[in-house]
Structure 1
Amino acid sequence: MNEQMPSPGSPFIDEDDILVYGWIVDGGSGRADRAAAELGLPQERAAAALKRLASLGLVRSVRDAPDEVVVVDPDAVTAALTAPLRAAIRHQEEQLDLVHGKIDRLRDHFFAGRTGNRDFTVEVIPTMEEVRAALNRASAECQEEVVSSQPGGSGRVPEAMEEALGRDHALLSRNVRMRTLYHHTARFNGPSQAYVAAATALGAEYRTSHELFGRVIIYDKSLAFLPERTGSWGGVAVREPTIVGYLHDIFEQYWIRATPFSDAAQDGLEQVAKEIHQTIVALLAAGLKDESIARRLGMSLRTARRHIADIMEALGADSRFQAGVLAARARLTDPQQAGPGKE
């Protein structure tokens, strides 16, 4: 019967009440049995609706006719009905302001302790919640540019992307330039395609590469965030100018060589697939293991092994070593793409 219970102090008006109110407008009486029969409601529900309408002042009895009621203009009772709810909202807003004020005082102590006691040019942030808070604060304070390298291209969660799009919109609406690098594999992922299309329409820029140097987010060339090396959900904030500048220079080198993002329906995807295939061949020839190849190309281990199996079949190789030898002999490898040696 009720789609949603009302908040404390709010008027309780449900669908039955609206239905019975409309029935009275059309000539219905104040009798619950007649309302139930004509509206197809159980009598107890019709009686409850009539009682609520009367208690809220939305219907009133006709003098000398106790079984008859007439409707009251809803606008005439709106102020009285909504007064408790508006008072509750004001109270909640006052409580919210009070909490924000105390949080501001705590924040003052937090930053005073950081700047006064230790050098925080490199800061370990231990938990995911604190990392998200630090990223949100950096985004809010960013004035000119944010660049990021985001390895991986599959398994992206649509809900998380929708949340990220909201943060990106806030940055882009302030004319902050936003550039992001993905692995080529992101081009094959539906949620990634949708996210990039939406953010690009807002002014963001995206490119992809067969390999990336790691995960990093850099704000205004002055603050960089790196993942914590133990694989936890923590992170590291870097403010030391030389280190941040070095990371930004690496990003620029990869950005220049990267390919503008295009989705699976656009031209160039076949070339991207060939580049991924060629890179795997080069990494095989360099002696890298399946896990390292998958990590460097931002794909799952299962997908990497499927590519490797296809390559070995195409080369007629019986082993990974033989595949590498045959690929090098056929000049299918590219030392520049293979990067450093074994991992």
Structure 2
Amino acid sequence: MVYQEIGDNVIGVEDTLSAENVAVYRWLALHGQLDPVRISEETGLDEAVVSGAVGHLLRIGLVQRGEAGDGRLRAVDPARVAAVATAPMERAIAQQQARLHVLRDQFSQLAADYEEGRHSVATDVERIPGLTQVRDALTRAAANCREDMVTVQPGGTRPPEVLQDALHRDSQMLARGVRMRTLYHHTARFNGPSQAYVARMSALGGEYRTAHQLAGRLIIFDRELAFMTDHDNRSGAVVVREPSVVQYLYEVFEQTWSQAQPFSDAAADGLEAVAKDLDRTILRLLATGLKDETIARRLGMSLRTTRKHISDMMQALGAESRFQAGVAVGTGGLLDDDGNGDGDGEADASASTGRA
């Protein structure tokens, strides 16, 4: 069997050693000669595979022919071969790194040009299409925030990984003296990760309150830059810079904030009080004729949970339809105190539903 070296020990990505290459090299190193039949028998490799492995080892210099010209092959010290064999790959990596540095510098310059253009040509509204881009934009805005950030976070819970990502960013803002206020739905008070996050950030100076109804996700930095969810693309965002619009959104936040309650553990407040407050809000929304989906979104609850609450309350009211429920609410005066007391009718409704 004849083997012939190929090239000058040039190794590429495709030349990484396979298990077959390693097995054949080990056999040659231990026995000092080539015996394809024995190698095949002792390694379990086909002779054609052995032949290919020897050719590969010759090409990258891990095997060489003997000096006596007798065609014998011998294993070569890998430490001696490594520097020569991997040099082309190292040069390629160095070239790629150089290109990467150039590309990063170019993009950095483009970013500077973009920022300059954005400030010279007013861009009042901008759409950011994807979640990754939205997170990057929020990170930059948070890093540049100087005085004040307000946030509306609808929904009863935030995923633990999202809260973990927010810890570092928010901690840095608070350390710089930025005032940070966040509104959650009341249902967030039942969520363990949210409770832990609020407790930790409150100790650093963050302020948190909850409300039964929130219009939608909103983040405002320094009363200059507002982020809202894109209605047509829920994973994207709409960025608003127009001063009058941002100020209006900020005032909406302030109004909701003034009527919200300090964030606390629902168990500490008393589950009965929380449940009765929730019942009152659902009654009020039912009375206005809103759909289940809208009520669920405003309360930060799942549609299934919302419908269960509505079903229990209609049963407690003895109503078979939304219309009958509305009549019962009106004639029973369940909302006459506008949430400032615990009317007997509502207390009876809560008790009848069997919820604390």
Q: What's the TM-score once normalised by structure 2's chain length?
A: 0.64
Aligned residues: 313
Q: Which amino acid aligns with 1:83?
A: A
Give the drift of 1:334.
Answer: 7.4
1:259 to 251, 264, 269: 264
Match of 2:220 in 1: 218
Match of 1:5 in 2: none
Match of 2:86 in 1: 82
1:320 to 315, 319, 322: 322
Query: 1:137 aligned to 2:135?
Result: no
Match of 1:125 in 2: 126
1:99 to 98, 103, 109: 103
Aligned ranges 1:231-310 → 2 under 5 Å: 233-238=236-241, 240=243, 242-243=247-248, 246=251, 249-250=254-255, 252-253=257-258, 256-259=261-264, 276-310=278-312
Which has the larger displacement, 289-298 or 277-286? 277-286
2:56 to 49, 52, 59: 52
Give the drift of 1:151.
Answer: 1.9
**Residues 295, 71 of structure 1: CA spacing in aligned structure 2 closer, same or farther, 3 A cutoff?**
same
Over residues 275-313 of structure 1, what are the superposed CA-to-partner deviations in whole Å (9 max), with x where a residue is unaligned?
Answer: 545532342244433232122123444543343223323
**Residues 29, 303 of structure 1: CA spacing in aligned structure 2 closer, same or farther, 3 A cutoff?**
farther
2:77 to 53, 72, 76: 72
Stretches of structure 2 that go unaligned for 5 or more consecutive residues are 1-10, 341-356
Query: 1:151 aligned to 2:154?
Result: yes
Give the drift of 1:148.
Answer: 2.7
Match of 2:42 in 1: 38
Structure possessing the higher radius of gyration over alpha carbons: 2
Q: Which amino acid aligns with 1:313?
A: Q
- Structure 1 CA distance for aligned equivalents of residues 151 and 128 of structure 2: 20
Percent identity of paired positions between Structure 1 and Structure 2? 37
Q: Does the 8 A contact of 2:280 with 2:339 survive in 1?
A: no
**Residues 52, 107 of structure 1: CA spacing in aligned structure 2 closer, same or farther, 3 A cutoff?**
same
**Residues 133, 246 of structure 1: CA spacing in aligned structure 2 closer, same or farther, 3 A cutoff?**
same
Query: 1:111 aligned to 2:109?
Result: no
- Structure 1 CA distance for aligned equivalents of residues 146 and 153 of structure 2: 21
- Structure 1 CA distance for aligned equivalents of residues 88 and 199 of structure 2: 44
- Structure 2 CA distance for aligned equivalents of residues 52 and 175 of structure 1: 58
**Residues 88, 335 of structure 1: CA spacing in aligned structure 2 closer, same or farther, 3 A cutoff?**
farther
Match of 1:340 in 2: none
- Structure 2 CA distance for aligned equivalents of residues 200 and 71 of structure 1: 64
Query: 1:171 aligned to 2:169?
Result: yes
Which has the larger displacement, 310-319 or 138-147? 138-147
Q: Does the 8 A contact of 1:11 with 1:81 survive in 2?
A: no
Q: Does the 8 A contact of 1:279 with 1:333 survive in 2?
A: no
- Structure 2 CA distance for aligned equivalents of residues 140 and 285 of structure 1: 44
Q: Does the 8 A contact of 1:36 with 1:46 survive in 2?
A: yes
Q: Does the 8 A contact of 1:180 with 1:207 survive in 2?
A: yes
- Structure 2 CA distance for aligned equivalents of residues 35 and 251 of structure 1: 80
Give the drift of 1:149.
Answer: 1.9
RMSD (CA atoms): 4.6
Any idea what SS the aligned residue of 1:259 has? coil
Q: Does the 8 A contact of 2:125 with 2:242 survive in 1?
A: no
Any idea what SS the aligned residue of 2:228 has? strand
Any idea what SS the aligned residue of 1:126 has? strand
Any idea what SS the aligned residue of 1:317 has? coil
